[in-house]
Structure 1
Amino acid sequence: MLRNLYAWTMALAARKAAAWWLAIIAFVESSFFLVPADVLFVPMVLARPRRAYFYATIATIASVLGGILGWTIGHYAFEAIARPVLVFYGKLETFEGLAQSVDWKTILILLVTSGLAHLPPIKVVTILSGVANFNLGLFILSAIIARGGRFFALAWLLNTYGEEMRHFIEKRLSLISAIVAGALIVIYGAYVLLH
């Protein structure tokens, strides 16, 4: 199923309406969709490097709006909507584990790590933020910084290094994401221990 979703998303990058598809995918990724917007964003930037920052803006805005939807689902409709979605993707156990041990600082670091590196998946964190009644204003600001940072950094890298960067990212994205997330978690752990 994941391979089919990936192939379908890649095919969208070649369409004239690709920017609209990017907005839709970035929006739904932040609340319930499995495939990250990067799989559409990367080929779009490579195909039209001059529009890299335009695409990054679209992806950031749509992702933040989708995150607000995820927060709203978690806050107002967890049992009716969020639980079945989390069960469908096999993320309910992860979610429940997180929900039992979070405070606002933990949610903030999860927003940053998921926004930058997809660890844990952004949809889990947006819903968790709503369930935990995380401040919506701080949620939006964190999402703008994390998601915008990710899309604009990718736009710059792809615009600067082109095909070489695409191959590097595709081969090492999981490793890069894990290293960034690990570093952020270590920094947060050190902060908690020192305060």
Structure 2
Amino acid sequence: MLRPLYNWILRRSARPDAVWWMAGVSFAESSFFPLPPDIMLIPMCLAEPKKLWRYTNICALASLFGGILGYAIGFFLFDSVGRLLFDLYGLWDAYYGFQHSFNTVGPWLLVLKGVTPIPYKLLAITAGIAKMDIVIFLLCSVVARFSRYYIIAVLLHFYGPQVQRIIEKRLMLVTTLLVVVVVGGLLSFKLV
């Protein structure tokens, strides 16, 4: 089941309009959508290594702008849209655990958790709810989102062909590891 999807994404990643799809997914993931942009960014960078840094910058910028929308949802629309998103994704337990820590060490938590593949929308919306200073939010988001995607870019830059071979050979293992990392990131909210 995963092989056809992987091949489909890899074929689409070489298309001229793929960058717009990736940017849209990255924007949406930072504010309301559950699908991370990595599933497009990595195959696109592997298919066209010369565009790795361009794709990475576009993905990070789109994520940053999506985070601003997430912040606005928390700041202005939490009672309507924010609550709906938290209900839809079952984020209430994570939110309550995160809110306490966020009030104490918000900027540091935003940077540290923003680098991980946990749902960034939770961080952005919570920053808006907490009425975090927008300049501090933007600075922390720039550090977090660019760091997150640049880590991927550096790995792909130095180990691109090996990464592609590993993904193609052990697609199920790679997918399982990504799920474990995402679930681990979500569970870390309960521990903080």
Tell me the TM-score normalised to structure 1 length. 0.78
Gap regions ≥5 residues in structure 2: 168-172
In structure 1, the residue corresponding to 2:102 is in which secondary structure? coil
Q: Deviations over 1:101-152 (max 9, x none)?
A: 53252x2233223321124x21111000000011111111111111111212
Q: Which residue of 1 aligns with 2:39?
A: 39
Q: Which residue of 2 aligns with 1:192?
A: none
5 Å-filtered alignment, 1:53-72, equals 53-72=53-72
Q: What is the rounded CA distance, in whole Å, between the counterparts of 1:100 and 1:42 in structure 2?
A: 34
Question: Does 2:152 correspond to 1:133?
Answer: no
In structure 2, the residue corresponding to 1:126 is in which secondary structure? helix
Q: Which residue of 1 aligns with 2:112?
A: 113
Question: Does 2:149 correspond to 1:151?
Answer: yes
Q: Which residue of 2 aligns with 1:90?
A: 90
Aligned residues: 176
Q: Deviations over 1:47-88 (max 9, x none)?
A: 000100001110111101000100010000001101111111
Given residue 36 of structure 1, which amino acid in structure 2 is its aligned partner? Answer: P
**Contact 2:67–2:141 (CA under 8 A) maintained in structure 1:** yes
Cα distance change, pair 74–39 in 1 and its aligned pair in 2 (3 A): same
Q: What is the rounded CA distance, in whole Å, between the counterparts of 1:69 and 1:63 in structure 2?
A: 10
Q: CA RMSD in A?
A: 2.9
1:142 alignment partner, one of 124, 132, 140: 140
Q: Deviations over 1:143-174 (max 9, x none)?
A: 11111112122112112211323537936446
Q: What is the rounded CA distance, in whole Å, between the counterparts of 1:173 and 1:112 in structure 2?
A: 20
Q: What is the rounded CA distance, in whole Å, between the counterparts of 2:99 and 2:181 in structure 1?
A: 26
Question: Does 2:168 correspond to 1:170?
Answer: no
Q: What is the rounded CA distance, in whole Å, between the counterparts of 1:150 and 1:101 in structure 2?
A: 21
Q: Which residue of 2 aligns with 1:185?
A: none
Question: Does 2:32 correspond to 1:28?
Answer: no
**Contact 1:52–1:156 (CA under 8 A) maintained in structure 2:** no
Cα distance change, pair 159–34 in 1 and its aligned pair in 2 (3 A): same
Cα distance change, pair 154–41 in 1 and its aligned pair in 2 (3 A): same
Q: What is the rounded CA distance, in whole Å, between the counterparts of 2:161 and 2:154 in structure 1?
A: 13
Q: Which residue of 1 aligns with 2:158?
A: 160
| Larger mean Cα displacement after TM superposition, 164-173 or 16-25 | 164-173
Q: What is the rounded CA distance, in whole Å, between the counterparts of 2:114 and 2:151 in structure 1?
A: 12
**Contact 2:114–2:123 (CA under 8 A) maintained in structure 1:** no
Identical amino acids, percent of aligned pairs: 32
**Contact 2:114–2:148 (CA under 8 A) maintained in structure 1:** yes
**Contact 1:30–1:126 (CA under 8 A) maintained in structure 2:** yes
Given residue 142 of structure 2, which amino acid in structure 1 is its aligned partner? Answer: I
Q: Which residue of 1 aligns with 2:170?
A: none
